[in-house]
Structure 1
Amino acid sequence: MSPPAENQGAILVAMGEWGLAWWCALIFTATPLLALVLWHCTDVFHRAAFTLNPAHRGRRLPPGHMGIPVLGESAAMMWYFKVARRPDGFVEAKRKAYGEGSNIYRTHLFGSPAVIVCSPAANKFVLQSTDSFAGRWPMPELLGLTSLPNIEGRQHTRLRGCIVAAVNQPEPLRTFARMVQPRVEAALRTWADKGTIIAVPEMKKVMFGNICKTFISLDPSPFTEKMEKLFVGLVDGIMAFPLNIPGTASHHGLMCRRKLNAVFREELERRRAKKTTAATLGDRQQEDGDLMSRLMETQDEQGKKLSDDEVVDSIGSLVMAAYESTATAAMWASYHLAKSPDILAKLREETAAVRRANNGASSFITYDDISKLKYTAKVVEEAIRVTNFAPMVHRVALKDVEYEGYTIPEGWRVIVWLRSVHTDAKYFKDPLSFNPDRGSWDEPAKPGTYRPFGGGYRACAGNMMARLQITIMLYHLSLGCEWKLLNPNARTVYFPTPRPEDNAPMAFSRLCTSM
């Protein structure tokens, strides 16, 4: 005999509620267990693979954790950089969990098992051990497969020598100083006429224009504005997780890189055709004399020139590195000076003295004047330190490497965490504050504690040009302009490069009639 219809409905409701409760209990119980399994399986797998290798008998991996499958600890790193906005928290959490020890930790970042090193001694060991570590960025195609960051041996030595000779020696630096100062002054006049500027894009526009003119003889135009947007996409891709599928920053960065390569290849072919025509006509004054021309003419000991791929890859990576880091540091220098009137006053006193020493004959300074700007140099170095435009550099272990009782396995990524040293109170008192008067700049930094341009044979080949650009910008800003932050309490965005959240709007005006 069936129960009444109303009882059947009640039974079905009760069964439905019981089933829902059962599924909820299963989900809430199974999900944490599954997460726990996933959290440990990657670490267990890599530790087992290491331990079972007979060559690793008696050896041990650095302390740490490999994170979840595929992503590793990339999500955790991005959380500290993008959400918590505490970029130092990622390494601090490891130190808290595993102890400072030798400041070497295992992890899984940028799609690869990796070791982080984050002390002056460990950083120096990796950067200078040329027989144990090679340059290897997460997605080499973004920087150019044959560009300076991705090549080794004699090929690297040849290309680096060409670049250093072209941009980091006194004569090209003198030429650079003469060339960019009229452009800087013109930009500052434009800013003053506007009255209000957004500092981040404006500073990038100036620095990008300087580099385009110096490296590839291009003046500002709608074409160079499009190029700059492509470089922005390229920078975003370099810092992202290396996943080449549509919709990801890495994929967009690769598309930007291919478009830039097409631009540079077209320019290379135009120059080659121009040279051929000039040679036919007997004209020997056809070379542009810029970095791209020098790269095209570079020869090794056997008289072999760089290939087209090498020239194109190199010029793209050099333009990106030269303008992005310099613009970021110069913007932060002006930002901190706006909040530090005492420091700005000392800077102005020094730059005014140099101008008076030149009898006011010109508003420009020469490369030889730079050595007189002692306090300005401190401001520049402090701005570079607090900016940390390159928080890390990438290497790969060419063989099993022993360090401080731990083994760095062959083929593992090695991430030299430069930022952690620049923001460590052991080396810089009150490290997150902007203070050019700190004693650190009155004497050479302790070995390994100040490496904004990397180190070893892969140290930035254009570091002096970067410093020169920032110095020139501060010289003309201090003598000719007044600026005030409209939102001095804006939060900082740290990814892909550090900047104020609102891009630093400023009230901007002329300080004197000399501009």
Structure 2
Amino acid sequence: MWAMAIVTLGVGMAALGYLLFRTMEYRIVEWRKKLPPGSMGWPYIGETLQLYSHSPNSFFAAKQRRYGEVFKTHILGCPCVMIASPEAARFVLVSQAHLFKPTFPASKQRMIGPQALFFHEGAYHAKLRKLVVSSFTPDGIRGMVSDIEDLALATLNSWEGQKVNTFMEMKKFSFKVGILKIFGSREKLDMDDLNESYLTLEKGYNSMPINVPGTKYNKSMKARRHLSKIIGKVISERRERGEGDNEGPNFLGTLLAHKDEKGGRLSHEQMVDNIIGLIFASRDTTASVLTWLIKFLKSSPALLDSVTAEQESVRQQKSSLDYKLTWEDMKSMRLTTRVIQETLRVATILSFTFREAVEDVEYKGYIIPKGWKVLPLFRNIHHSPEFFPEPHKFDPSRFEVPPKPNTFLPFGNGMHSCPGSELAKLEMLVFIHHLTTKFRWDFDESKTGVQYSPFQVPQEGLPIRVERK
């Protein structure tokens, strides 16, 4: 009993000492260097609760009004500098990108895996990015149109006459598309096991990295280990079958076939981490955009009619009722593409991205200390009336002319921008084609709220009732 009390007291004192040390450290840094204005919040916790318990719009807007376009804060255990202008975003992501390495909070790094593309720079990053980009170029995905169409039709057919949670259904759909791209259409996988494991994993993405039984972080790390075993088994089986097993073009095949100039191959851990990273990058973001897209279309009857007419014109060019879409059909969906762009702008699913200063960096008279996180705020830029008049109005016509450079960044910018953007757009175009030409849907107009989990989605995931036309 006494031993337990002494241990508990010792742990408490150590934790208190650590918090006091970090607080003093930040105060010393602030005294020695000219940091941007802002608040660091509570020791260690910082302002994490303020950011993730309310609308990020309110948090970012209030900070920008008070401190300007560059300000400091402290979230997820990390001291941060947030930037909210196209000029600053370009400085961090493009022109001076070598001074800012890609990074995530410790919780995300451990859950995704330390060998994932996101967390590296230099030669390793260049090698991995080349492999990823080669898998997601238009040439790398154009052969997927038919398979994506089959997944979209299966999803929509299961909705007929049902009331469904749009966001949850879109997560399943985008997850299946991602798995298709990663493993190919011939791999037999337990999709329910994969999906459940990833659902548990993602619940801990924005948790504090406290690995104590019962916490979200602890549950997520257990799910991560299980997911790693599932993926590892597939990798081992594919290795045993050999490279010439005609699996078809897929990301795992690209990883397995890769050899560097010395004949070296990627390790098992590198492949697992990058596959989990790819699932992370492709699933919830695309699902969120599709959910908002369905809401925005239904909320604007005239726009929905115009998009439907465009999609009907594509269908009318087919010679049979049992037609298949082609890559060329996507090019004729110009209005639908603008609607997707405006959805990406208004919803801004990724409010910011993480970078880390590799040395002390001066920007506009302020010092960004080495090791601090730097967060370009895409949401603030996308919602600025200076670049997008009446920014909260949904108006796809604004994309009839290209936006000003560095003002529209839904997939980031620079060497670390999202390589899967073309696949995401393809998913959306195929899905919206069949939704608008074959089905009608309604939702409760009185529920206009927004939830954050951690991506911004309509209230309750946008429940809709779907009927065939």
Q: Is the 8 A contact 1:133 1:396 kept in 2?
A: yes
Structure 1 distance, partners of 2:194, 2:301, is: 36
Find out whether 1:444 has 2:411 as its counterpart: no
Task: After TM superposition, give the deviation of residue 371 of structure 1 in Å.
Answer: 1.3
Q: 1:47 aligns with which of 14, 27, 36?
A: 27
Map 1:430-441 onto structure 2 (within 5 A).
430-437=390-397, 439=398, 441=399
Task: After TM superposition, give the deviation of residue 106 of structure 1 in Å.
Answer: 1.2
Structure 1 distance, partners of 2:213, 2:387, is: 43
Find out whether 1:311 has 2:271 as its counterpart: yes
Task: After TM superposition, give the deviation of residue 323 of structure 1 in Å.
Answer: 2.0
Alignment-derived partner of residue 271 in structure 1? 238
Map 1:372-391 onto structure 2 (within 5 A).
372-391=332-351
Secondary structure of residue in 2 paired with 1:88? helix
Structure 2 vs 1, CA of residues 362 and 206 (structure 1 numbering), >3 Å: closer, same or farther? same
Secondary structure of residue in 2 paired with 1:396? strand
Structure 2 vs 1, CA of residues 170 and 49 (structure 1 numbering), >3 Å: closer, same or farther? closer
Find out whether 1:353 has 2:321 as its counterpart: no
Alpha-carbon displacement from aligned partner over 1:226-257 (angstroms, at most 9, x marks no partner): 22122223323222333333333333222222
Deviates more, 1:454-463 or 1:352-361: 352-361
Alignment-derived partner of residue 25 in structure 1? none
Task: After TM superposition, give the deviation of residue 303 of structure 1 in Å.
Answer: 2.7
Alignment-derived partner of residue 239 in structure 1? 206
Task: After TM superposition, give the deviation of residue 330 of structure 1 in Å.
Answer: 0.8
Deviates more, 1:316-325 or 1:238-247: 238-247
Structure 2 vs 1, CA of residues 310 and 222 (structure 1 numbering), >3 Å: closer, same or farther? closer
Task: After TM superposition, give the deviation of residue 380 of structure 1 in Å.
Answer: 1.0
Structure 2 vs 1, CA of residues 502 and 414 (structure 1 numbering), >3 Å: closer, same or farther? same
Structure 1 distance, partners of 2:138, 2:259, is: 22
Q: 2:256 aligns with which of 271, 287, 296?
A: 296
Alpha-carbon displacement from aligned partner over 1:109-137 (angstroms, at most 9, x marks no partner): 11021111121111111112232010111
Alignment-derived partner of residue 9 in structure 2? none
Find out whether 1:485 has 2:452 as its counterpart: no
Task: After TM superposition, give the deviation of residue 201 of structure 1 in Å.
Answer: 1.6
Larger radius of gyration: 1
Aligned residues: 448
Q: Is the 8 A contact 2:451 2:460 kept in 1?
A: no
Q: 1:95 aligns with which of 57, 64, 68?
A: 64
Q: 2:139 aligns with which of 153, 171, 177?
A: 171
Q: Superposition RMSD on alpha carbons, in Å?
A: 2.3
Structure 1 distance, partners of 2:302, 2:187, is: 36
Deviates more, 1:111-120 or 1:352-361: 352-361
Spell out structure 1 runs of 4+ moving beyond 4 A.
39-45, 218-222, 359-362
Task: After TM superposition, give the deviation of residue 364 of structure 1 in Å.
Answer: 2.6
Secondary structure of residue in 2 paired with 1:502? helix
Q: Is the 8 A contact 1:230 1:257 kept in 2?
A: yes
Instruction: Specify every segment of 5 or more residues in structure 2 that has no aligned partner in the other structure, as ranges.
Output: 1-18
Q: 1:159 aligns with which of 128, 147, 164?
A: 128
Task: After TM superposition, give the deviation of residue 78 of structure 1 in Å.
Answer: 2.4
Task: After TM superposition, give the deviation of residue 76 of structure 1 in Å.
Answer: 1.9
Q: Which amino acid aligns with 1:434?
A: F
Instruction: Specify every segment of 5 or more residues in structure 1 that has no aligned partner in the other structure, as ranges.
Output: 1-38, 81-85
Structure 1 distance, partners of 2:424, 2:322, is: 23
Q: Which amino acid aligns with 2:283?
A: Y
Structure 2 distance, partners of 1:262, 1:41, is: 39
TM-score (norm: length of structure 2): 0.90
Q: Is the 8 A contact 2:20 2:43 kept in 1?
A: no
Q: Is the 8 A contact 1:105 1:116 kept in 2?
A: yes
Structure 1 distance, partners of 2:263, 2:188, is: 37
Structure 2 vs 1, CA of residues 400 and 74 (structure 1 numbering), >3 Å: closer, same or farther? same
Alignment-derived partner of residue 27 in structure 1? none
Alignment-derived partner of residue 88 in structure 2? 122
Task: After TM superposition, give the deviation of residue 218 of structure 1 in Å.
Answer: 6.2
Alignment-derived partner of residue 4 in structure 2? none
